[in-house]
Amino acid sequence: MVVVRMWRRLFGGSAQELDPLRDDLVVVASSFDDVEACSTALDRASELDREADAVLRHHLRLPAGQIERAVEIAGYDGYARVGDDVASDGLVPIILQRVQRLDPLTCSQERSRMAGLAQRHDGIADGWDAMQPPRTAP
């Protein structure tokens, strides 16, 4: 992820990286259906700016004892954890997010990676969404 950021800075990427903590971000794409292809979800996302970075968020539910290790592993790929409410089924809902450019291939790869991470830690990957600042009218 660091190499990607450096590459973008040197060779025409966004001048300023998207701050995932901005309070004006809105969901521009999402899928919580295991059988829906990322390409379908992204095609349906009329507000997504494919030329700009987005905050890709994966919604997982994990046992409390597995969260720390799963978050550590996801951190190797630039993900950070947000959210920590306890669910009624004993699993803790968490969100792992990172800033990246979205396309069907990378979205699908990341969704698969998070599903595997959740499964290896006795949890569930519920789905994903992507957030960007609202588009301004021309």
The CATH number of whichever domain residue 77 belongs to comes to 3.30.70.970
Quote the pTM value.
Answer: 0.84
Selection from 28, 24, 1 nearest residue 13 by Cα: 1
How much is the average pLDDT of 13-42? 88
Number of domains comprising the chain: 1
How much is the average pLDDT of 14-42? 89
In a domain, 137, yes or no: no
In a domain, 47, yes or no: yes
Higher per-residue confidence, 103 vs 1: 103
For 59, the domain range is: 2-132
* pLDDT score of 9: 44
In a domain, 138, yes or no: no
Question: pLDDT band at residue 7, thresholds of 50, 70 and 90?
Answer: very low
Which one-letter DSSP state was computed for residue 95?
E
* pLDDT score of 85: 66
d(CA 38, CA 19): 24
d(CA 133, CA 123): 31
Lowest-confidence region among 3-12, 51-60, 120-129: 3-12
Using CB atoms within 10 Å of the CB of residue 3, give its burial: 0 to 12 exposed, 13 to 18 middle, 19+ buried. exposed
In a domain, 12, yes or no: yes
In a domain, 72, yes or no: yes
pLDDT tens by residue, 100-136: 999 999 999 999 999 999 999 999 999 999 999 997 7
How much is the average pLDDT of 86-107? 88
How much is the average pLDDT of 28-32? 96
* pLDDT score of 88: 58
